[in-house]
Amino acid sequence: MTVTEAQTEAERPVGLGPVGWLRWFWRTLTSMRTALILLFLFALGSVPGSIYPQRSVDAAKVAAYFKNDPKLAAWLDRLWLFDVFKSPWFAAIYLLLFVSLSGCVLPRALAHYKEMRRRPPAAPRNLSRLPHNAVVEREIGVDEAARVLRRARFRVATGPGWVAAEKGYLRETGNLLFHLALLALLLAVAAGGMFGYRGNVLVVEGDGFANTVAAYDRFMPGQRVTAETLAPFAFTLKDFQATYVAAGPKRGQPLDYVAKLSVTDRPGAPAHDADLKVNDPLDVNGTLTYLIGHGYAPSFQVLDGKGQVAFDGAVPCLVDDQSTYTSECVVKVPDAEPDQLGFLVRFLPTTIPQGGGWVSVFPGAANPTVQVFAYKGDLGLKTGEPQSVYQLDAKKLAPIGKMTTQPTPLNVGDTLDLEGAGKIRFTGVKEWISLQTTYDPGRVPALLAAAAAVLGLVLSLTVRRRRVWVRVGDRQAEVGGLTRTEGGDFGPEFAGIVESLSQPLSKSLENR
């Protein structure tokens, strides 16, 4: 290597290296700008959770999404849009935001604590250069000026011939309180995820529910939740009442939903009645049960080809049209002989003939009927493959009778003959409700953290940091002041301080 090459190599800038890159990454991550960006992404990432149905809230709506548009639903599911708050990308934003806020706020809190303990700085030499300045034409002592400023709630420091005062620390305190509250909110959410649980269940009128893992249709426990931690309460759905607007331009619009429950708070306790409404949950020792959906459950009795009762009960239907509550459901009868039976059922709450067929025109069950599409053969239940209770696999099934798109509807009490394979009788109509039970120990801390965040935001937006200095002379005193933050008008407050200094202390006290 020549001398010139060696000199060029020596002058070449040295790279950051692993430690330098780590330091740069940490400083970037813990900057306030990055925290604000992550906070925006956190809010933006929560939006799909309110647009698309979530499995943890209403699995039936997710199933309806897959039924109506399977391809789109499959892509949405790949992006975790039906489980937004469990998705890896949402968890990444959550963790990065927590780390960023911790690394940003905690050092600032320590610096603010040191700043609050530091004395106000000494008065500058030329107070006339400050944005606010005035001259008091009377002789003022240092002690008198200090007392006037203390009465105005300034922190005061004195020196030879000068007084320094400062206040407005609550601005930075509010700013830190806001960000610390966000940290506390994230911790509360994490505590709810670890020690809380959520469960979804569908209950038909007349049926009961006990708060056990096996009773849920879908159960989502936290990492620290066991079966023993569930509150041991139970209830029976005695009745569900839905009321709608009966006439006028808003006909069919829901007015109220009420579920009549008989609740037992703990084993051996007496039962008591309770009304469950939308946004008015049942609270049993901190465990909340919400009403999140409802629908119809027509009941049927099925006789097989040998005349034996093979099925007798209610079948929950999924709502296909929210305006009229036209619903669809499936009845599977694997115990029928000699052939297994399956039925696709369309339920019409208020039925009228229209255009050569039948439609429902009102969500209330004023004239309930069912249209039945019957099949016989192998339901495929013995293969071990999971099946949805809301779908019927017709690959190994043969239709019974002539299939039409608009079969004659059955009224309550009517029977459909299955041409030697048996009979199905429409026996009545019940209603079902879907519930979500939640236990979240972080709910109250999250509420307190949110209130603290609002308080901190108000303080940071309304309080201003300002300083005042007074230089005393033989026959006059010079006063100067400035604000350390933008916004607001310090002029009236500064004028009030000058007026107080212009008056003798005893007269100033009388005026106050």
Asked whether residue 146 falls in the same domain as residue 78, the answer is no
Q: What is the SS3 assignment for 226-278?
A: CHHHCCCCEEEEEEEEEEECCCCCCCCCEEEEEEEEEEECCCCCCCEEEEEEC
Asked whether residue 92 falls in the same domain as residue 31, the answer is yes
| Average pLDDT value for the chain | 87
Q: What is the SS3 assignment for 184-236?
A: HHHHHHHHHHHHCEEEEEEEECCCEEECCHHHCCEEEECCCCCHHHCCCCEEE
Task: Say what the pTM is.
Answer: 0.68
Q: Assess whether pLDDT exceeds 80 at residue 510.
A: no
Residue 374 within a domain: yes
Percentage of the chain lying above the pLDDT 90 cut: 40
Tell which of 110, 134, 149 closes a domain.
110
Q: Report CA-CA distances (Å) from 48 to 51, 80, 492.
A: 5, 10, 49
Residue 363 within a domain: yes
Distance CA 453, CA 177 (A): 6
Question: Residue 10 — pLDDT band, cuts 50, 70, 90?
Answer: low
Task: Report pLDDT for 12.
Answer: 54
Task: Report pLDDT for 194.
Answer: 84
Asked whether residue 36 falls in the same domain as residue 156, the answer is no
Does residue 466 contact residue 167 with C-beta atoms inside 8 Å?
A: yes
Of 52-66, 101-115, 293-307, the one with minimum mean pLDDT is 52-66
Residue 228 within a domain: yes
Q: Assess whether pLDDT exceeds 50 at residue 117.
A: yes
Task: Specify the number of domains making up the chain.
Answer: 4
3-state secondary structure of 13: coil
Q: Assess whether pLDDT exceeds 60 at residue 416.
A: yes
Asked whether residue 308 falls in the same domain as residue 362, the answer is yes
For 501, other C-beta atoms within 10 Å of its C-beta total: 23
Tens of pLDDT along 443-483?
899 999 999 999 998 988 888 888 999 998 888 889 999 88
Asked whether residue 302 falls in the same domain as residue 417, the answer is yes
Tens of pLDDT along 357-399?
899 999 999 999 999 999 999 888 877 777 788 888 888 899 9
Asked whether residue 285 falls in the same domain as residue 305, the answer is no
The two structure tokens encoding residue 302:
């099925």
Asked whether residue 140 falls in the same domain as residue 91, the answer is no
Tens of pLDDT along 137-175?
888 888 999 999 999 899 999 999 999 999 988 888 888
Q: Assess whether pLDDT exceeds 70 at residue 505.
A: no
Task: Report pLDDT for 185.
Answer: 87
Q: Which domain does 148 fall in, by range?
A: 120-168+464-511
Percentage of the chain lying above the pLDDT 70 cut: 94
Task: Report pLDDT for 486.
Answer: 66
Residue 184 within a domain: no
Q: Assess whether pLDDT exceeds 60 at residue 11.
A: no
Question: Residue 431 — pLDDT band, cuts 50, 70, 90?
Answer: very high
Task: Report pLDDT for 509.
Answer: 47
Residue 352 within a domain: yes
Task: Report pLDDT for 426.
Answer: 96
Tens of pLDDT along 233-255?
999 999 999 999 988 888 989 99
Q: Assess whether pLDDT exceeds 50 at residue 210.
A: yes
Q: Assess whether pLDDT exceeds 70 at residue 494.
A: yes
Q: Assess whether pLDDT exceeds 80 at residue 16.
A: no
Residue 163 within a domain: yes
Asked whether residue 287 falls in the same domain as residue 312, the answer is no
Does residue 362 contact residue 324 with C-beta atoms inside 8 Å?
A: yes
Asked whether residue 415 falls in the same domain as residue 441, the answer is no
Tens of pLDDT along 169-204?
888 888 889 888 888 888 888 888 888 998 999 999
Tens of pLDDT along 214-231?
999 888 888 888 888 899
Question: Residue 427 — pLDDT band, cuts 50, 70, 90?
Answer: very high
Does residue 451 contact residue 185 with C-beta atoms inside 8 Å?
A: no
Does residue 53 contact residue 61 with C-beta atoms inside 8 Å?
A: yes
Q: Which residue has the higher pLDDT, 411 or 98?
A: 411
Residue 36 within a domain: yes
The region that residue 42 occupies, defined by phi over 0 for left and psi between -120 and 50 for alpha, beta otherwise, is alpha
The region that residue 502 occupies, defined by phi over 0 for left and psi between -120 and 50 for alpha, beta otherwise, is alpha
3-state secondary structure of 472: strand
Tens of pLDDT along 318-366?
999 989 999 999 999 999 998 899 999 999 999 999 988 899 999 999 9
Residue 12 within a domain: no
- Give Dmax (Cα) for the chain: 120
CATH number for position 470: 3.30.310
Question: Residue 14 — pLDDT band, cuts 50, 70, 90?
Answer: low
Asked whether residue 336 falls in the same domain as residue 277, the answer is no
